[in-house]
Amino acid sequence: MTVEAAPQESYLFQANIGKAGPQVVGGKGVRVDVKFDGKVQKGMIDAVAGAAVGALGWGDEEVYQIINDAARNSTYSYPALLSNESAEELAKFYIENSPEGVFAAALWCTSGSESNENALRIIRQYWVERGLPEKMKIISRENSYHGFTLAAQSISSNPRIDAFSPLLIDQKNICIKMPCAYTYRFKEAKETEEEYAQRLLDILENKILEHTPERVGAVIVETLPGSALGTSPPPKGYLKGIRALCNKYDIIFQLDEVMCGTGRCNPNGRLNCWENFLDPCDAPDIQTVGKTLGSGYVTIAGVLVGPKIRNAFLEGSGSIIGGHTYSCHAFNCAVALGIQKKIKKEKLPENMFKMGNLMGQKLKDKLLSADNIAGDVRGIGGFWTVEFVQDRVTKKMFDSSLNVAGRFKQIAYKNGITLICMPSVKDNVGDLAIMAPSFIITEEDVDEIVEKMVESTNELSKQLRKEGVW
């Protein structure tokens, strides 16, 4: 039956399908031009680099040459039949720019969701290769986000996936959840950070024992969580403790660094966020990456596997079951490799770590010392969050009906800054404003971001006070 189409302004089936909404019409460096209701707001400072993506910012002339060369020298190959040199070279680059011996091989795909899907398949096949197919249970965290495909949603836990729960992998017996690490809100006043970490580790160990170690295949966490929790750093000893439990019970330890990794939060001028918290001997067995890998110029993400996983496949079937049409795509890999070499040559991870931490400290100094709705400022390197609360002392969240995060985003847009803003989740997570700027930011850019964040926070604070809700 043919149905007459409703009047439409937009022909895209994404986000708000009723209208086109704000549209990016240009960008250069850390600035973007955005079209709102027919008018273009020029030179907005992009404090979130798209979605923690644009390491090099926008309109980089050298990247245009990298893209041109890659297009001329790349020929598509289906990965199940033929490989290509660009994919090999990108894998070698990532492995060599991580601590020695941690990673042994990589698989490239086209999105963070897809990377986590592939990681789950690799973990499953790993246990089959070892003759332990019953180790199929996955433990991940509450208030987590690993992507929007169904398996990635199955290891996630946030309101965005609730509507899809009937389609997800068994949440009771297969994809099991443990509490998140959320020091600001869930660490008890009497606890030290280490004691809070140990409490979480005790819960994890009890989960493993409850579901029997012989049936638990992996523990998966975001090193520095993104949009579901707002860059809450792991408490001291937490990640190392997970590694120890995985060693004790023969379980795969996976870190999701799609949003926080590939140079965004590395203290050593390299790639991995976990180097803030773990020695190489405690590194993950498998890690997903994405976002800044292609800096928004190509669609690419990946899965890195350690020697333990690679060796099990070599000693078993010697091959991976399945594949995607655009896995290890030569053009994407060539562009990403050129971008990563440029980032390394220009020492941009060092700049991001320094400028990002400066931004975080200035936000703390200016927001938390004044009377406003900012309750917490947290993050590492190039990944930071402001959490808004109704009461700083009790950390009481605003009622979700007030749409604090949504209103803040609109005010911030008006003031010329782009952010990711996430609404509160009852009894779990407050309203969040998340920043993840490009690696090329200067101290002047930092000051502008801080100034606009303070201006926007004060403006919303005044509105809420006038309404009698703060």
Domain boundaries, the chain: 66-345, 348-466
pLDDT number for residue 10: 85
Instruction: Look at residue 4 in the predicted model and tell me its pLDDT.
Output: 81
β-strands 105-109, 301-305 pairing: antiparallel
Give yes or no for a contact between 266 and 353, defined as CB atoms under 8 angstroms apart: yes
What is 315-330 written as a DSSP string?
A: HTTSS-S---TTTT-H
Instruction: Please check the confidence at residue 311 and state whether its pLDDT lies above 80.
Output: yes
pLDDT digits (tens, 9 = 90+) for 34-89: 998 889 999 999 999 999 999 999 999 999 999 999 999 999 999 889 999 999 99
**3-state secondary structure at position 418:** strand
> 440 — phi, psi (to 5°)?
-90, 5
pLDDT of residue 426: 78
**CATH of the structural domain 348-466, one choice from 3.40.640.10, 3.40.50.12780, 3.30.420.40, 3.90.1150.10:** 3.90.1150.10
Percent of the chain whose pLDDT exceeds 70: 100
The pLDDT, as a whole number, for residue 53 is 97
pLDDT at residue 423, as a whole number? 94
Please state the pTM of the whole predicted model. Answer: 0.97
In the beta sheet, which residues pair with residue 105? 305
Query: How far apart are the C-alpha atoms of 268 and 282, rounded to whole Å?
Result: 17
Class of domain 66-345: alpha beta
Q: What are the tens digits of pLDDT across the range 331-388?
A: 999 999 999 999 999 999 999 999 999 999 999 999 999 999 999 999 999 999 999 9
Q: Look at residue 164 in the predicted model and tell me its pLDDT.
A: 95
Alpha helices in 286-402 (DSSP H): 307-315, 330-345, 348-367
User: Tens of pLDDT along 244-300?
Assistant: 999 999 999 999 999 999 999 999 999 999 999 999 999 999 999 999 999 999 999
Please name the residues in contact with 16: beta carbons below 8 A apart, sequence gap of 6 or more.
Answer: none
Distance (Å, whole) CA 223 – CA 144: 11
* Residue 70 φ/ψ, nearest 5 degrees: -65, -40
Predicted confidence band of residue 455 (pLDDT cuts 50, 70, 90): very high
pLDDT at 412 over 90: yes
Mean pLDDT of 122-129: 98
* Amino acid type, 217: G
Residues 6+ apart with CB under 8 A from 217: 123, 124, 127, 135, 136, 137, 138, 251, 252
